Structure 1
Amino acid sequence: MIRILFRRLRWLLLFILVLLAPQTLAQPGHLGAILGAIEDPYPLRSADTSSPRDTLRTYMRDISTAVDAWQSDKPRTDIARPLLRAADTIDFGGLRGVDRLADMTIKMILLKEILDRVELPPFEDIPDDEEAAEQGIVRWSIPNTKIEIAKISEGPNAGEFLFTKETIENLDDYYALAKDLPYKKGASVGLYEKVLSSPGVLLPRELANNFPDWAKEIVLGQGVWQWISICLLFIISAAIIRFLYRQGARWDERHRISRPSVRFGVPLALLASFFIAHLIGLASFTAIGLFETPYVVVSTIALVVKIGSLAVLAVVLAGRLADSVAFSQENSAQKRRVDPALLRVVFRLVSVVVLAYLGIYAAETVGIPIAPLVAGLGVGGLAIALAARPTLENIIGGLTLFADRPLRVGDFCRYGDQIGTVEEIGLRSTRIRSLERTIVTVPNAEFSQMKLDNFAARDFRLLKAVLQLRYETTPDQLRYVLAELRKLLLGHPKVTPVPARARFVGYGAYSLDIEVFAYLQCQDQDSFLAIQEDIFLRIADIVKDGGSGFAFPSQTLYFRRDEGVDGERGRAAEVKVEDWRVDDRLPFPDFDPGLRREIEDTLDYPQRGAHDYRHRKGRSDDPPPGPQIPPAPERKSMARWLGLGSKRS
């Protein structure tokens, strides 16, 4: 893959190599039979690699032509053409991507340094294309050396004779063995050392000559001035990155409650860090002129910063995008169709994919082969699957929660034997805020198997109570209480008329039991408690008005005569029930439909005197505040006999 990419981009890459080539002090002249003093009448011709002879001749001629052109300050195109052809004679497939350009440059220089020193065979002794075809030659070595030219059997360069990858990888060792040999006539003397201490194309070539001698000394493969420059570059870049990140974090904190799309401080700082690291890698090569190990270290650090910045940027952007979508739907009709928690999980999965791609890219860039890793995953897949089984179960449980949607973030629920408010549903676990204000983390595999009771999804709240009246309550008093309770349930604006009921359900051990069953029009607990309190207080008034009382489980020893229940009120209730009976209008088992409609929603809620009381025209029992309007003449109705009053016009 790298070889194909290089072949497609070789013009651009080699043009950069030419720009980065340092000035050499090569002496005029050539290497006789191999090079030949000829002009290049075909500037766009490709490298001739049809035989070992043509490959060696093409490389020696073109690399020397490029060096001579650079020495003579010729146009860059005159340097790029021969340098490109010289590079086409070499198999660079074994070089890493992180420092590929610098490594290609130094390898070509080392090969020239070696060939400028060793004895080469006569031109006619090197196999040409006919000899290679007749004798079946696929590999040829320069005599008395390990420098090989071999025929490529597959890939885009199939059929070409190139300097082998093994030769290129071992050029450092070969140069160490050959560097003490004398130069041949016409060679570029001291080319390798001058490359290491010369600046790149962005700085003048004469810059290094202006430095003192101590600054031009070679230390650990580079000039002292280059080490000082790269250290200053790192310090300044680190200070800029730190400053930008702090400013970005402060911007996001100031706009913490604003739209998520406004909180772009940290993402911009991370993006700036990526470009700064990229510029460091370029400047260390194109300006400072680092090569070999120093450039490998600098480019690796720059690569780590770039990959780290992009990785953090992917995670941050995933969260910000999910927050932006959720924020845009808070006040829209679609807010219940797209679950913000699901969006966060989806964006997190996307960020994981991006992180995996960045990891693969980084591995390929530094030269770590991916194919053996994939093969290793296939062999160890069973062990990994067994080790990751709990994690996979939790992820599947999380996906099940998102698919079934039994709960949403913010819902108050019961899970198992505990209750709390859901704060986050993630891929691995669900976080719940308990009543003690603590955070309970439950793995999704376990949470999805629990019995979940979602309180936030209910439309009404159930009110169910059993009233236990004293046994001294007479039947007519009991009927009065039941009738008034039913009037209360029908008239209360926060009680749904169906299936609201109040029924005498039985005789207890010490009480007459009346069951009150109704659904209240509310969802949250505070509203429910307020409405329940209002109904219970009204029930207490009804029981008191009926002349009865609430029973309690106890034994009473009377040492004086028991006064019993209120006799006067009891007689009044009995008289009223007797009137109902005489008129054949007892409301048992239910009210007359017409009377029922008149009773519904006739009570005030909240009652008069409350801070949020609102007078309901034609409904409120008390007259409205302010000037009074004389009431209209009373209209006879079916409710008059029951003592319900009449509606005002």
Structure 2
Amino acid sequence: MIIRKNSFKAIPSPLGCLQVPFRAFSVLCALVFFLTLAAPAANAQLWPTDTASQGSNGPKWPADSLDRRTPRGTVVGFIKAVASENYGRASRYLSLERKLQGKPKGAERALALQRLLDQRGTMVPYSRISNSPNGDLDDNLGPNLERVGIATVNGETFDLILERTEAPEGGPLWLFSSQTVQQIPVITEQEALVPLTDRVLPTFLKKNRWGGVPVGHWLVMLALATLAYLLAWIITFGLRAGIRTFWHKARTDPTSGIIKAFELPFRLYLAVWLLVVSSRAVGISIIVRQRFSELNVIVGQVALILLLWRLIDFITGFSERRLTRIGNASGLSAVLFLRRGLKIALMCFGIIAVLSTIGFDVTTGLAALGIGGIALALGAQKTVENFVGSVTLIADQPVRVGDFCKVGDTVGTVEQIGMRSTRIRTLNRTIVTIPNGEFSSLRIENFAHRDRFWFHPILALRYETTPEQIRFLLVELRTILYSHPSVDPDPARVRFIEMGSHSLNIEIFAYVHAKDFSEFLEIQEDLYLRMMDIVTASGTGFAFPSQTLYMARDSGTSQEKTQATEEQVRQWRDNGELQLPNFSEERINALKNSIPYPTSAPNPPRNGTGKSSRSKK
């Protein structure tokens, strides 16, 4: 057998191997001992069955002195009666003829049922028996029957059934059914088999009784619990070693982590199963086994909670290592927070389940927790809002740690995304902290993930620039964009877009390929300098807001051109060709495509009819 270093350093003896896990089990043994010290009267208080008052709106019946209003009350009452060796009282929990209840023959039936349960029977744990006057309506047995255990007679196994009857004073009364009672064999003292426990116990442990049972039965039960755990540990240790020997993948993550998570819960479940089987096999009294049955249920619940706890640790630990490797600090924060939250929720549910199993009424507590939770939620609205915002940021990932972005009016680099807030280092080197609830609702512009940079200057030229100079600039500026290796030619355009209030404006639109903003600034600087050279070479210059005052003598208007214009308008009016207020459809169709475009030369002047002299020729 191969044992890894990180398993156990040495195995000098079985008890030495169990030193660490046995500490956990010692706590369980202490709990067992504490529960076994409880008196039967205290046990009755854990399962209140007084159903005289069934709520303000439900039916009301007088209280039953034997607590037989519910199936659980009947079973608890019967066990208490036989524990106190009051078999006349115990017979009143059986469906017998009225004249036999409390009489010797009825007591014999009650004693026979106890012996049957001691040797060849078992009962359902108290917490699994219905505590409602109506019983369990979902057990497929009908509304008046309840299964509370099993027993074996002559090799045949049958169910122990409670039957709901009507009490003389009204209300339900649950009793062991007549069919169940008829199947109970009456065993005399001479016919009764002596259990193995009674055969091996010394006389003083059998004579001294506690709770209606020899003290030796309690001690044997504790010894069986210890042995069951030791045997379960040996079995799980052997299974783990065998799996690692024959399946090499079980030694590496994540398989080893999953096996480790299941190991201790499986050991606890196996120990409980071994305890139940062995205690029945050696003939431990049903009174002792019923007291331990609740502990078995609790250990099962603890094992389940422990399994979920370990799976949470495994899954979050595995995710934590992966996120650490890729440097995802925000995801790591979310994993740590979720792990704490899940563990707290798991502990709350575990405590509620254990208290419910013990017998405490957790309904009132849950209602109080619900009201308290609502009050807490109202008081912690902002906290919940920030948590939801952080989950949104982590899931959607509009920004990551290290991204340069603009959030609202804040521009800077994201330094940390926490569970409550996000920190941004601004250009002034200050830290701005934004709550995640507000952060997720703001407009976020992320500059870190753009594929290209927009190059969009507008060149403002002097008004003295001639049309020919503008044509020269359009050609040369486009040449620069098309020929530069860092400029994407699609789209790359240069257009004369506006005659502004103090300048003639040329728009340049293009995208630049760069790995980061610093490289883009270098390329932009190169383009600006080349364009300045082109503007200088064209003979014009850049405009700036100004006013020009021309000191010249006003020559007035031209009389010849004024007369020619007036004559042209008169002719249009006389010929019916004055296209005002609107051009006619025929005139529009005649003018379509009459201007040659594109052209490398200025358009020829138009004649008085609106057509060019070239078209006339």
Q: What band does the TM-score fall into relative to the shorter chain?
A: 0.3 to 0.5
TM-score normalised by length of structure 1? 0.40
